[in-house]
Amino acid sequence: MSFNNEEIERFKNANKKLGIGDSPSNPRDNNLIIIYSSPKVGSTSLVSSLRLSLNHKYTILHIHNERMLKLLYNIDDVSVMELITYNGMIGKKVFVFDVFRTEMEQKQSLFFENIDTFHFNVPLSILNKYDINILINRFNNIFHETIISDHFKSIYNIECPAEFDHVNKYLMIEKDNVKFIKLRLKDSKIWSKIIGNIMHENIALMKDYQTSSKDCKDLYNSFKSLYFIPTNILEHIEKSESLKYYYSPEEYDEYIRTWKCKSSDEECRVYSKEEYDLYTKISVENRHQNEIQQEHYFDDGCVCKICNVNRQNVLRLMKNNKPVSLKRIGEHHKNKKLITQALKDNILFDIGNEKRKKGLNMGLNMFK
């Protein structure tokens, strides 16, 4: 694939907005990891684990779709796949990761991701008082029309093998100097080993941003414990070609048996496409909070001195099986904003206070 001069300029501009540099001597400018997947597949944990372990060598990005490019980076003139292809074409080492998660569990997690701001548009304090059956019925209503994408098969534009590699527990296809990798959330406990074998790097695994640990965790856990799968949804799951592809026959049988033990004897009502479109339209109009959150990573990828030191400290604690008390790598950025504002105020209103100004500058230098 080749690009004209106008396209190349757009790609260069997009790279700049994404923080992808072009210095030949900087490893982070020449090595790129993009987690490009549908949401709620464990991708946030994967991002933070890779940043924690490889942020000094790789620029690591997390993208679900073009809308995310627009909202977070103000990029609306190139696609994610064009950016991936371009960076591979200009000689960068590019790894692109996708993750498979079973449909029922992914859709449940998606449902609770925005249950208060989208599906019911009420604070969690009120939602926690709802009859759990109301939530279950709503989830069943929208189950079939809640679309999730297999980026590896449908977006990457690569030729997939006939079978998943159940021995090594991943797929990797190389095309145009880009390595496309498919993992399974089922194997997340051994991702450090799997990814380490792929990239020949030491990877520390960090659990991050799980629905079961969020503010709605009690509601989510109640939902899961009381949920029984209706017969029509169970039949849908049993016919899933993705499940049969990514799971071995033994894994498939075990998974189906688990849900049959939690199945009801009744069918549920599911929305038609027209009903779901109307439901979505009304929910979007009513919502009061953007669903894309910028500060939900344990590691946001910052390369300042403080973040680099914090990474080394966290890795040392994890290696020695000691608890990590740090809430988030990058949390100190709030202090940077305060120092910057204080320095600005000092320059504007107290120019004679050179000692204070010097102290503020020294504090700001810590973030470089």
Tokens of 293: 């959150």
Q: Among residues 237, 252, 286, which one ends one of the domains?
A: 286
Q: Which residues of 5-36 are buried (b: 16+ CB within 10 A; e: fewer)?
A: eeeeebbeebbeebebeeeeeeebbbbbbbbb
Torsion of CA 249, 255, 257, 261, to 10 degrees: 180
Tell whether 230 and 100 lie within a shared domain.
yes
Indicate whether this model's pTM tops 0.75: yes
With a cut of 50, say whether residue 256 has pLDDT above it. Answer: yes
End-of-domain residue from the set 219, 252, 286: 286
Query: Do 318 and 193 reside in the same domain of the chain?
Result: no
For the chain, give the secondary structure using H, E and C: CCCCHHHHHHHHHHHHHHCCCCCCCCHHHHEEEEEECCCCCCHHHHHHHHHHHHCCCCEEEEECCHHHHHHHHCCCCCCHHHHHHHHHHCCCEEEEEEEECCHHHHHHHHHHHCHHHHHCCCCHHHHCCCCHHHHHHHHHHHCCCCCCCCHHHHCCCCCCCCCCCCCCCCEEEEECCEEEEEEEHHHHHHHHHHHHHHHCCCCCCCCCCCHHHCCCHHHHHHHHHHCCECHHHHHHHHCCHHHHHHCCHHHHHHHHHHHHCCECCCCCCCCCHHHHHHHHHHHHHHCCCCCCCCCCCCECCCCCHHHHHHHHHHHHHHHCCCCCCCCCECCCHHHHHHHHHHHHHHHHHCCCCHHHHHHHHHHHHCCC
Residues 243 and 329 in one domain: no
Question: Is the same domain home to 142 and 213?
Answer: yes
Please report whether residue 292 resides in a domain. no
Look at residue 315 in the predicted model and tell me its pLDDT. Answer: 77
Q: Is the pLDDT of residue 318 over 80?
A: no
Q: According to the model, what pLDDT value does residue 357 have?
A: 52
- Res 291: pLDDT: 53
Count the domains in the chain: 2
Residue 295 located in a structural domain? no
- Assess if residue 12 is contained within a domain: yes
> Comparing C-alpha atoms, which of 114, 116, 137 is closest to residue 127?
116
Of 155-169, 258-272, 287-301, give the lowest mean pLDDT range.
287-301
245 domain-assigned: yes
235 and 343: one domain?
no
Closest CA to 76 of 17, 155, 157, 4: 17
For residues 186 and 317, state if they share a domain: no
pLDDT at position 308:
76
Q: Is residue 211 domain-shared with residue 324, that is, in the same domain?
A: no
pLDDT tens-place string over residues 34-54: 999 999 999 999 999 999 999
Residue 98 has pLDDT above 60, yes or no: yes
Do 217 and 332 fall within a single domain? no
Looking at the structure, tell me whether residues 52 and 144 fall in a common domain: yes
Among 67-76, 238-247, 338-347, the least confident range: 338-347
Domain extent for 120: 5-286
Q: Are residues 282 and 328 in the same domain?
A: no
- Indicate whether 267 belongs to any domain: yes
Which pLDDT band holds residue 80 (cuts at 50, 70, 90)? Answer: very high
Indicate whether 296 belongs to any domain: no
Give 323's pLDDT tier (boundaries 50, 70, 90). confident
Q: CB neighbours (10 Å) of residue 276?
A: 17
Q: Does residue 27 lie within any of the structural domains?
A: yes
Residues in the chain: 368
| Same domain assignment for residues 104 and 243 | yes
User: Is 135 inside any structural domain?
Assistant: yes
Does residue 102 surpass a pLDDT of 50? yes
pLDDT for the residue 358:
55
Tens-place pLDDT, residues 115-129: 998 999 888 889 999
Q: How many Å apart are CA 31 and CA 367, to the nearest integer?
A: 23
How much is the pLDDT for 2?
77
Does one domain contain both 51 and 157? yes
